[in-house]
Structure 1
Amino acid sequence: MVILVMIDGARPDALETASCPNLAALRAAGSATMQAQSVMPSVTLPCHMSIFHSVPPARHGITTNVFVPMARPLPGLIEQVRAAGKRVAFIHNWEPLRDVSRPEQVAYSYYREPPLDSAYDDAVGAEAVRLLRDESASFDFVFVYFGSVDAAGHAFGWMSPEYLSQLQRVDGLLGRVFDVMPSDATIVVQADHGGHDRTHGTDMAEDMTIPWIAAGPAIRRDHQIAAPVSLLDTAPTLARVLGVTPHAAWEGRIIDDIFEER
């Protein structure tokens, strides 16, 4: 099983400033960089289209949080996983994410509009734990999206006490996910973009620099990734773990540096 966890709007320096023991333990157990790069515009839907399709917004054509058909359509990670006969589960609380894959590609989808308070992500965390505990639910790829850190940034400001407190709450939810995920699972935790003041979307370092962490049986432990990492690299790297062929039009690379056998 491969699990991709998205913490929307999480800046790398926030992971260092807030108390995030579960994310710190994951970094020690795997390979990480605090210098991975987002794409321009550093906005949620364009970023996710780039994460799942391994091409920049200039290629897929989605440049705002309003979905439009891709300028030049190509299969993304979910389509490649489905074509390989594998099963995908999607757990999220931001409704536009339904458009990162085409219809009839996801075997299980959970969406719930969140409360606009500190409990914003609690239902997503609980559903992820329930799904991973359900022995009858067999999924090869599980995507879990937490949106509250970004929401706190917009409401109170990036690196504000409220923003850091919300990141700590998500770290606690992640700890419960880590406790129940299969021992042979590979997990990637990353952000889509950072932020500054109460916004994001620019090419400022605060908006463009994100954390990227991977851990699993085949992943090097306590390893700092030296090579540059981009959002575009997530799909081909996860495809390797899943035994799925990356699409020929994908522009990202496999982050070979993280694997024990390179």
Structure 2
Amino acid sequence: MQKISLLIMGILSLTFLHAQPPVIKHVVLIGCDGFGAYAVPDADMPNLKKLMREGSSSLSARSVLPSSSAVNWASMLMGAGPTVHGYTEWNSAVPEIPSADSSRYGLFPSIFSILKEQRPTAVSALIYSWQGIDPLIAKAATTIRVAGKDNDNFCTDTAAAIIRSKKPVLTFVHLDQPDGVGHTIGHRTPEYYKELKNVDARIGKIVAAVKDAGIADQTIILVTADHGGKGKGHGGKSLDEVQIPWVMYGPGVKKGHQLHNTIITYDTAATIAWLLKLKMPQSWRGQPVAEAMGK
């Protein structure tokens, strides 16, 4: 009898660990380039902090190394690190190491490609300020694709309009700030924190668009970054460069919860796949941040 009880308890524990999230029909991923987690506590970012208060968050999530752009955007969207997907440099446009896997679109599987393969009619939207995002995601894997040409306000307004009118299943908005200020003036400077106020306003516009579209009760909003920075650069191993914010908000997400489990940027794609009930490729190494869901 004791063995049976222990077995039942084990099954229940396993079920809890892998419990499915509520029905989520839309995910909006907001990626802020060069946004170090170190900056959040002192930043004047009421919109982001509201998402944190009403959702789950971590200020100790980590990039992959090197803590640079293309390698980390690839990892975030491809569910694996550079030794698997092959993009290893700041501005990688093609894999420097042959990718360990390939989708039907000829590139390493991304969250966009698996959505397209498994749900061909689902609308997806990719809006990006930095042009280095373009070669990472196959054009055939996206429904709507807009190059913002280094204009974050244009990207924000475009993303908001698309969310209101098209209600994509998956929307990824890449914003180039505060990375630009980090490079020109420096991290941990008054100017960097001032720019974060602008970043926060853009986040607020996108959150408002989700509400305006009438899909807030079916939408998870994720806010994160590719890397942080130190001085006027990034790419190194310091925590200022490696630690990134990771914020999850929406129906079923624990409120005011500080995430304790280790989060690596490639867990973002895995979390989105889990939320949208997509089967993850075997080559992915990310794990869903299931800790964020539940009471």
Q: What do residues 68-87 of structure 1 show as CA deviations (whole Å, max 9, x unaligned)?
A: 24612331211111112222
Distance of 2:262 and 2:208 partners within structure 1: 30
Q: Which of 132, 135, 157 lines up with 1:126 in the alignment?
A: 157
Q: Which of 241, 244, 253 lines up with 1:207 in the alignment?
A: 241
- 1:81, 1:87 within 8 Å by CA — same for their partners in 2? no
Q: Which of 94, 102, 105 lines up with 1:68 in the alignment?
A: 94
CA shift, 1:104, in A, is 0.5
CA shift, 1:248, in A, is 1.2
CA shift, 1:10, in A, is 0.6
Which aligned pairs between 1:147-166 and structure 2 lie closer than 5 A?
Answer: 147-166=176-195
Q: Residues 103 and 126 (structure 1 numbering): CA distance in 2 closer, same or farther, change over 3 Å?
A: closer
Q: Which amino acid is 1:9 matched to?
A: G
- 1:92, 1:112 within 8 Å by CA — same for their partners in 2? yes
Distance of 1:132 and 1:252 partners within structure 2: 27
Gaps of 5+ in 1: 115-119
Distance of 1:103 and 1:128 partners within structure 2: 17
- The TM-score, its normalising length taken from structure 1, stands at 0.93
Distance of 1:95 and 1:256 partners within structure 2: 32
- 1:41, 1:57 within 8 Å by CA — same for their partners in 2? no
- 2:153, 2:202 within 8 Å by CA — same for their partners in 1? yes
Q: What root-mean-square deviation, in Å, do the aligned CA atoms of Structure 1 and Structure 2 show?
A: 1.3
Q: Which amino acid is 1:165 matched to?
A: K
**Identical positions, percent:** 28
Please identify the structure whose Cα radius of gyration is greater: 2
- Matched residue of 2:140: which SS? coil
- The TM-score, its normalising length taken from structure 2, stands at 0.83
Q: What do residues 162-182 of structure 1 show as CA deviations (whole Å, max 9, x unaligned)?
A: 111111101011111111203
Q: Which of 194, 216, 226 lines up with 1:183 in the alignment?
A: 216
Partner of 1:117: none
Aligned positions, number: 254
Gaps of 5+ in 2: 1-25, 102-107
- Matched residue of 1:195: which SS? coil
Q: What do residues 227-252 of structure 1 show as CA deviations (whole Å, max 9, x unaligned)?
A: 11111111111101111111111111
Which aligned pairs between 1:163-178 and structure 2 lie closer than 5 A?
Answer: 163-178=192-207
Q: What do residues 174-227 of structure 1 show as CA deviations (whole Å, max 9, x unaligned)?
A: 111111203121011001100000000011111100100001112111111011
